[in-house]
């Protein structure tokens, strides 16, 4: 289990040490000479010494397979997006490790499927309890590897844990049916049985919640899992493995195989084509989802996917402007705009347009603060990497070149290369990139419209449909628009819709299936019909 030697030498009070007999491997940033002051390094030092020191027990770097921590032949660095410094070296698993993990999960499934629902429920509840007990350390890991402000990371951990609690309860509610039949001598029974090994492929923007939302349902159903976390944020998945082990989840039921970006394609293909894998669950881009679907199709695997979005946020003339602005702030700028359900296009009716833009700009200036996620008061952390920043720059540049007006922000923030100013654009038109591409950053483009029909047409003129939001005080309009928006989730006078009790998922090319809620566990169950005759 390697860790970053430079962080250790800076006095981080709770960083993981290498086990006896294994030498610490300094990360690349530790060896790189520094000329002049480097703000990123200074920022990393400030929280490595302080209360944000990462837990020695939870900061793991090896893969976790069959209840054991296993090193790989190679490692890859994980970087702090706020400073660019390497946080540590993580096991870089390849196809052989992926196939070995699947084999282990399959062997574990043969016994896990027979464990009573009461026991599965109890183990998930213990895992939940451990997450709550370690919530602060888990949140610090999220902030360190994703840059997310610490308060948001803390909220994510609570949200993550609630999925384990929810599915610990749903495990005991997997009901079958008895169906009345015409022949008196026959009875029809319907059973629900676990589907098998599930390959779980998760993104970096919610490195804990996207795991528990899938894994909680899978384990409750009686499935076992192999998790491939995003290369940017593997520490959260590995920390969850440590707690799952402590909770008594049997060896091989929860497995984690981190890998670098260079190996991600091959590992993903291996998971999707392995005959022992019965289910693929993926959250990420639509482009990657289509590739995985293609691989899974050859063996007709069960698939659920939560893919890209392009969420419209509609403000009608009848809306309460202050309420709409508050919802816009919550929807757009959470995690610096790096969520798949955040508002991507703001459609504002002409009569209320100027008032909304003015108040939106005032709220951005008043309430948002860019900085390191560990700093008190930070609401906007870095984007995950420079490529993400370049995409926001491209969208802003394209919009301005086509006539959009920059009301707020519009450029990189002086704090560091992965930081971008919260940006508000007006005079945006449908032909601009930000109107038909998902930005995934702190950019709020405002499009003016005249009629309800026009707004709905603009909102639906896309091949994706994950979430949509609108603000109105007209009851009839609320019913009409909620029914006509072509999305899987609708927020009416509400900017945040995610909840463990409610189904999460999209329509069109935004995905397949649903996660969370009572429906989420069905994604990991097969329905078996038994005809019992001769009675």
The closest of 209, 233, 229, 182 to 80, measured between CA atoms, is 233
Q: Which residues pair with 201 in a beta bridge?
A: 228, 282
DSSP per-residue string spanning 315-327: E-TTS-HHHHHHH
Q: Which residue from 232, 264, 239 is spatially nearest to 78, judged by alpha carbons? A: 232
Find the catalytic residue in 4, 223, 340, 342: 340
- To the query of whether residue 306 is one of the catalytic residues in this protein, the response is yes
- Cβ atoms 510, 504 nearer than 8 A: no
Closest CA to 91 of 222, 162, 2: 2
Asked whether the beta carbons of 233 and 77 are under 8 A apart, the reply is: no
| Whole-angstrom distance, CA of residue 99 vs CA of residue 454 | 51
Residue 4 is a catalytic residue: no
What is the separation of C-alpha 528 from the centre of its chain, rounded to a whole number of angstroms?
Answer: 32
Distance CA 443, CA 429 (A): 15
Residue 421 backbone phi and psi in degrees, to 5: -65, 140
| HSE-up of residue 373 (Cα within 13 Å, Cβ side) | 30
Taking each helix axis as running N to C, give the angle between helix 234-247 and helix 209-221, from 0 to 180 degrees, rounded to the nearest 10: 40
Helix (H, G, I), strand (E, B) or coil at 138: helix
From the candidates 306, 452, 486, 523, which is the catalytic residue?
Answer: 306
In degrees, rounded to 5, the angle at the alpha carbon of residue 88 between the alpha carbons of residues 87 and 94 is 130
What letters, b where the CB count within 10 A reaches 16 and e where it falls short, cover 334-365?
Answer: bbbbbbbbbbbbbbbbeebbeebbebbbebbe
Catalytic residues: 306, 340
């Amino acid at each position: 289990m390697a860790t970053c030697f430079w962080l250790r030498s800076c006095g981080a009070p709770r960083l993981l040490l290498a086990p006896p007999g294994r030498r610490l491997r300094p990360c690349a940033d530790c060896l790189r000479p520094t000329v002049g002051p480097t703000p990123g390094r200074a920022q990393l030092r400030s929280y490595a010494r302080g209360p944000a020191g990462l837990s020695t027990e939870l900061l793991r770097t090896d893969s976790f397979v069959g209840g054991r921590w296993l090193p790989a032949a190679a490692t890859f660095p994980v970087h702090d997006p706020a400073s660019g410094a390497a946080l540590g070296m993580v096991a870089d698993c390849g196809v052989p490790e992926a196939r070995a993990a699947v084999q282990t999960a399959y062997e574990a499934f043969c016994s896990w499927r027979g464990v009573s629902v009461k026991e599965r429920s109890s183990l998930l509840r213990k895992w939940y309890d451990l997450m709550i007990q370690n919530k602060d350390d888990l949140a610090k890991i999220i902030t360190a590897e994703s840059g997310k402000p610490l308060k948001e990371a803390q909220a994510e951990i609570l949200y993550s844990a609630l999925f384990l609690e929810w599915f610990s309860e749903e495990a005991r509610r997997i009901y079958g049916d008895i169906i009345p039949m015409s022949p008196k001598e026959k009875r029809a029974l319907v059973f629900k049985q676990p589907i098998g090994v599930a390959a779980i492929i998760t993104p970096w923007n919610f490195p804990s919640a996207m795991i528990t939302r899938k894994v909680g349902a899978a384990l409750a159903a009686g499935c076992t899992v192999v998790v491939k976390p995003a290369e940017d944020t593997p520490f959260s998945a590995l920390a969850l493995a440590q707690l799952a082990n402590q909770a008594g989840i049997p060896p091989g039921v929860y497995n984690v195989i981190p890998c670098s970006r260079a190996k991600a394609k091959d590992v993903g293909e291996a998971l999707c084509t392995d005959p022992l894998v019965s289910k693929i669950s993926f959250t990420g881009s639509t482009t990657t989802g289509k590739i995985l679907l293609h691989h899974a199709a050859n063996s007709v695997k069960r698939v659920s996917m939560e893919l890209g979005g392009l969420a419209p946020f509609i403000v009608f003339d009848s809306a309460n402007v202050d309420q709409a602005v508050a919802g816009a702030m919550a929807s757009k700028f959470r995690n610096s705009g790096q969520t798949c359900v955040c508002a991507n296009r703001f459609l504002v009716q002409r009569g209320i347009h100027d008032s909304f833009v003015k108040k939106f700009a005032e709220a951005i200036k008043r309430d948002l603060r860019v900085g390191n996620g560990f700093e008190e008061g930070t609401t906007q952390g870095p984007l995950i990497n420079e490529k993400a920043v370049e995409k926001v720059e491209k969208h802003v540049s394209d919009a301005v070149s086509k006539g959009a007006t920059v009301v707020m922000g519009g450029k990189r923030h002086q704090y560091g290369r992965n930081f971008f100013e919260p940006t508000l654009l007006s005079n945006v038109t449908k032909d601009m990139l930000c109107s038909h591409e998902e930005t995934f950053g702190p950019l709020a483009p405002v499009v003016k419209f005249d009629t309800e029909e026009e707004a709905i047409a603009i909102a639906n003129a896309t091949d994706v449909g994950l979430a949509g939001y609108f603000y109105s005080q007209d009851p009839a309009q609320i019913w009409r628009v909620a029914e006509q928006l072509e999305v899987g989730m609708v927020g009416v006078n509400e900017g945040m819709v995610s909840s463990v009790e409610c189904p999460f998922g999209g329509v069109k090319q935004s995905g397949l299936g649903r996660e969370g809620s009572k429906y989420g566990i069905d994604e990991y169950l097969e329905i078996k019909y038994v005809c019992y005759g001769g009675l």
